Structure 1
Amino acid sequence: MSHSPDLSASPRFQAPRPKTYPQFILFGDSITQAASHVLGSSLAEWYMRRVDVLNRGFSGYTAPAGYDNLLQFFPAAPPSSSIPRIQLMTVFFGANDACLPGRPQHVPIEEYKQHLTNIVTYEGIQLHDTKIILIVPAPVDEWQMAPGERTAVATAKYATACREVGQALGLPILDLWTIFMLKAGWTEGSTDPLIGSKSAPKNKVFEELLSDGLHFTPAAYRLVFDALVNVIREKLPDDIPERLPSVFPDWRAKLGVDSRG
């Protein structure tokens, strides 16, 4: 009776040690969940062959609910041959936390700040030496929304709270509230009614950036991508793609082709 040779026993057929790509996780609520087509794809192209960009956005979630999810998907063990390193992560919560009291998603400001802190100081993040970029909630446009759920003034307070957490922990901050407001014509220190509130006139820029007063249009996501790239270049220069190695070599090196000619 003949037997097929056991090729797996031969050194020639032994599987190579698996390689894992470092990961860049986009973590947040529905605004993150909907970011794949513009923001996520642009980041994936920027980091092509160096880092995998993963979307972990959860529609309707608040910072406390997000923290609960983080404990379930973020590795609690250090990177290894089977556990890729989480190299970068954006943390973007606050749009739902800022719902007015009485709404099921409302989270008091101090609780919101505590759970943001819990997220960015989570033990797994320390084990992976993950670079966190904290994203400040963008303003809302009351003119596009049903009344009684969110206000421009309340969201501004949560934006301030998010900034305070980032500053206290020394984190890179992507301040979307300020970026959107400046683009809409706001001046820091102004005593005029807050842009986006019903006390101020309708704003054309907000109509272009916010599809329903809260969620982002493709134009807004392009703005976020450009701003995020700037933050990474300025605050995390060692993590720009140009300074990261490719996981697998260039085809010339793979085939032993002399590239000097």
Structure 2
Amino acid sequence: MPDGLPSTLGLVGVGTIGSSLIRGLLAPGGSLSTLPRVVLSPRGAAKAAELARDFPSHVVVAKSNQEVVDAADCVIIAVLFKQVEEVMKGIAFREGQKVVTLVAGLLPKRLQELSSPASDCVSAIPLPAVARRAGSTLLTPPRPWAQAMFGICGKCVSVESEAEFRRLLCITTLMGDFYKRQLTAQRWLSSNGVAEADAATWVGATFATFAADSSAAEADTFSKLVEEQTPGGLNEMVWKAQEADASYESLAYSLDAVFHRLVAGAEDPSLAPAAKRLKR
């Protein structure tokens, strides 16, 4: 396996993100000459059964979480945050195992405490498009075996600092906002006589084009792209109107609120954009 990529992976919690990662690793046409063996927990039975059906030569479903851990060189934890402490305290890990958490809010220090005596622990946040090897993954700390695993499935951004990881993690919460903007645009088109299917196709393709222009962004990429919008043109008109309406300021407030919740473990209503505007 390249760069020490584990030969046997165990997945505890077979939800959307965990199953997407496994699909990205095992789908035909990848860069791996030898595919890993994958052992799935019975949690998320429907998705586990689909993976076993689609990759019968490489995937098996275990009878328990402990059976997954016993069989794996690398254990991937992908349960809900509210379940993770209870689930992990019910599992016995072993020395030398690698452990990955895909649980937002569970960082390597606490992960290592929960999985002792295993000590090679990383936190990762892969986005669903890893299933098509077109996703991005945030990783801390950088480990060659983990970078190899997530690099197969798209772009892997690795950072040493847990503080930086928390800040970067906030950006993944813009996924719903991104889709809501697309839905708003589709509904605007449909309400003005455009067929829903045509509206969806055009909105999806247009947003994908926007993203393609900044997918390999450098420090000044976004500011340059904004500056490139024709002065006095329609594109500039829209972003300036959104700015005047405090849309981007509201976005920053939302990110502040997300970060607070990640750190404090609870939401603070006073940080909501509407509440912040009232204080101005």
TM-score normalised by L of structure 2 = 0.29
Greater length-normalized contact order (CA 8 Å, ≥ 6 residues apart): 1
